[in-house]
Structure 1
Amino acid sequence: MSGTVKKLYHVAAFGWYAFIVHYLFAKGREAPPDGIFPYGGPWKYLTFINLIVQMVFFGLASVRDLRTLGKRSRVTLLSQTKDLLFSVFAFPLGLLVVLLFWVIFSYDRQLVYPESMDNFFPTWANHAMHTLVLPIVLGEVLLEPHVYPNTRNGLAALGVAGFLYSGWVIWVYVSVGIWVYPLLGLFSTTGLVAFFISNIFVVILLYLLGQTLNFRIWGKQQVKVKKN
């Protein structure tokens, strides 16, 4: 029964994220509201990157669940890739997007999601991008164990990804003179550096949180998986 629930959960989550990503691409063909500019497309937004990561993860999980034939080595590689993607990116990034968005939104929504967005994205789309990610990713934690990489390697990969995205955001600003997020325009150069570094620090803490939850919930099973 639990295996069936897991398969249905993964397929449903993949279908949901595929729908949201398709919806956002379709909206991208419409005239954008104030606060959205064309350079970089949706790929400049961490929210969109997160949706892609979640979609790819649940897609891999679905393929792994449904794959009954083939060489064991291929299945093992698929499982390792899936677990790496979840532990290093899907879990910490998913939580970071939800946390940062709603903290900043609660303080001053104009800094992250101006009111002009309400006429472009319906309320359900906003929550699909910035709220539902949390229960879905936590559901995955409760559904099955994930094999985490060596902590140092996992944090190194996460740090590299964080610096690359920070560099991408800065590149967009240098190219068009507009910050991806209005909040960034309030900082001095020193403040920007501190903001980016603090976000990387937060996402590292979220990575460690995921690792801790995984061990507390699935400790014995996780050890068994590693030995197989």
Structure 2
Amino acid sequence: MTATLRIAYHMAAFSWYAFIVKSLAAKDGEDLPPGIFVYGGPWKYLTFLNLVSLLQMVFFGLAAVNDFQPGKKSENFLQRCTDLLFSVFAFPVGMFVVLLFWTIFAYDRELVYPATIDAFFPPWINHAMHSFVLPILLGEIMVQPRVYPKIKHGLAALGIVGLAYLSWVIWVYLSVGIWVYPLLGLFSKAGLMGFFFFNMSVVTLLYLLGEKLNSYIWCPCRL
């Protein structure tokens, strides 16, 4: 994969996510439709965190900056940071958002993305947040190999972040009495624990999938 193509890919991906975030920010101040509540702002939604907070937009921004760094990439601190961000967070969380969202949406969209939101977010923004993330991540695996941490370290970091987000979701519920996602209101306490455990299991499998894909595509025997 030529350096020029890799740079172009990272710049294009970063520009795309920056455009999406700008489009979302332009909605600030508008009346919220039923299904969205004010407390916690957009930071209570995993979709928004996936786009902005140390994940897709930030990852591709750092990857683009790293492309212009001189010297051997493997010895570059920024390279190691982007390897960690992609392998442990951007890929498994991004894939999880897409797969879980559309699975629930297909079953009953009112449980995750009520129809009233369509008047607030046009369909293209919905797909930008919940569909296009997947092919962009798969494309990233194709354009640049990543060095994965030891599995136990990677899963430990992923678990800490998962527990932090779970704690935030529960805090929002305890503060305002409303679940971030209507689906959660259907579960008993035991059901919630089972659902959260299932989600973490899926994210773990996606982490392992990313590692396998990276190894398969960039195995020296295939180059």
**Smaller-chain TM-score range?**
over 0.9
Please give the per-residue CA displacement for 1:34-73, whole angstroms capped at 9, x wherever unaligned: 01011111100000010011001100100011223xx769
Q: Where in structure 2 are there 5+ consecutive unaligned residues?
A: none
Partner SS for 2:76: helix
- Shift, 1:75, TM fit: 6.3
User: Secondary structure at 2:91's aligned position in 1?
Assistant: helix
Other-structure match for 1:225:
none
Tell me the amino acid that sits aligned with residue 170 of structure 1. I
Q: What corresponds to 1:138 in structure 2?
A: 138
Q: Helix, strand or coil for the counterpart of 1:33?
A: coil
Alignment-derived partner of residue 51 in structure 1: 51
Aligned to 1:115: 115
The answer (yes or no) to whether the contact 1:39–1:176 under 8 Å persists in 2 is yes
Q: Deviations over 1:196-223 (max 9, x none)?
A: 11101100000000000000111229xx
Cα-to-partner distance string for 1:135-189 (whole Å, 9 max, x where unaligned): 0000001111000001100000001111110110000000000000000000001
- Check the 8 A contact 1:13/1:136 in 2, yes or no: yes
Cα pair 2:93 2:203 within 8 Å, conserved: yes
Aligned pair 1:26/2:26, yes or no? yes
| Runs of 4+, deviation exceeding 4 Å | 71-75
C-alpha contact (below 8 Å) 1:64/1:75 kept by paired residues: no
2: CA distance between counterparts of 1:220 and 1:197?
36
Question: Letter of the aligned partner of 2:142 in structure 1?
Answer: L
Q: TM-score, normalised by structure 1?
A: 0.93
Do 1:159 and 1:200's aligned partners in 2 also have CA atoms closer than 8 Å? yes
Deviation of the 1:96 alpha carbon = 0.2
* Counterpart-to-counterpart distance in 2, 1:113 and 1:196: 19
Residue aligned with 1:27, SS? coil
- Give the one of 61, 64, 71 matched to 1:62: 64
Within 5 Å, give how 1:134-213 maps onto structure 2: 134-213=134-213
Counterpart amino acid of residue 22 in structure 2: H
* TM-score (structure 2 length as normaliser): 0.95
Superposition map of 1:69-148 within 5 A: 76-148=76-148
Quote how far apart the aligned CAs of 1:21 are: 1.1
Q: Which amino acid in the other structure matches residue 105 of structure 1? A: F
Counterparts of 1:73 and 1:66, CA distance in 2: 10
Whether the 8 Å CA contact 2:73–2:79 is kept in 1: the answer is: no
> Whole-Å Cα distance in 2 between the matches of residues 155 and 18 of structure 1?
28
* Equivalent-residue separation in structure 2 for 1:36 and 1:187 (angstroms): 20
Root-mean-square deviation (CA), in Å? 1.6
CA–CA separation in structure 1 for the residues paired with 2:166 and 2:39: 16
Instruction: Report the Cα distance in structure 2 between the residues aligned to 1:171 and 1:61, rounded to whole angstroms.
Output: 33
Aligned partner of residue 147 in structure 2, secondary structure: coil
Give 1:74 shift. Answer: 10
Structure 2 Cα separation of the partners of residues 107 and 101 of structure 1 = 10
Alpha-carbon offset, residue 22 of structure 1: 1.6
Counterpart of 1:64 in structure 2: which amino acid? N
Aligned length: 219
